[in-house]
Structures are given as C-alpha cells and as structure tokens.
Amino acid sequence: MFNLIAVVLLFAVGIYCLLATYNLIRVLIGIEIMIKAVTLLVIFCGYQTNNLALAQAFVITVIVIEVVIMTVAVGVVVGIHRHNNTLDARNIRKLKG
C-alpha cells in the first residue's frame, strides 16, 4: 500500500512540475518524474500479480522509449535556446513561420 501512495505522490510532483513552470528544462524534468512513477507502478503491479518478469520486460521497454524521447526533446530545447536565448515557453508561442 505504501508503494502505491509513493507512486501517486511521485506522479503528482511530476504534474505539478509541468503545470507550475514555464522553463522547458523543468518541464522535461517533470516528464521524467512522471515516467519514473509509471515504471514504479508497473513494477509494483508485477510484484502484486507474481508476474515480475513480464513487468521488468515492460519497464526496460519503457526506459528505452523514454531515453529516445528525452534525447529528441533535449535536442529541441537546445535548438530553441540557441534561437531565442531563453528557455521560457511563453516566448515560443510568439514564434511564427
């Protein structure tokens, strides 16, 4: 039961990190925290159902997908920073073209 509460709190921290800031690096950190909460939930569910091997396979798949997504996202953030000299998401809305 404690594990489930920890997962929910971790996911809530990730959501708060997404909604409370305009800094793109902090948004990426919030997404990372949420993905880590999901991986913990998958492991917890696998442990509860005595199917830990399948849960670990899913978690490895999620980690690989997460690394690819974060690599692309960091590349986009670096490109935005080079173009605008800021990481504020409000400035991105002003771009046209």
Does residue 95 surpass a pLDDT of 80?
no
What's the average model confidence in pLDDT over 57-74?
A: 96
| β-bridge partners, 32 | none
The range of the structural domain enclosing residue 40 comes to 2-92
pLDDT score of 97: 63
CB atoms within 10 A of CB 41: 19
Look up the CATH number of the domain holding residue 43. 1.10.287.3510
The verdict on residue 97 lying in a domain is: no
pTM, two decimal places? 0.89
Q: Is there a domain that residue 88 lies in?
A: yes
25-34 pLDDT tens trace: 999 999 999 9
Per-residue pLDDT at 1: 80
**Rounded Cα distance, 97 and 82, in Å:** 17
Which range has the worst mean pLDDT, 42-46, 76-80, 87-91, 93-97? 93-97
In the numeric block, the tokens 């939930």 are attached to 41
Assigned domain for 47 exists: yes
Number of Cβ within 10 Å of residue 83's Cβ equals: 11
Q: Is 10 exposed, middle or buried (0-12, 13-18, 19+ CB in 10 A)?
A: middle
The tens digit of pLDDT for each residue in 3-22 reads: 899 999 999 999 999 999 99
Number of domains present in the structure of the chain? 1
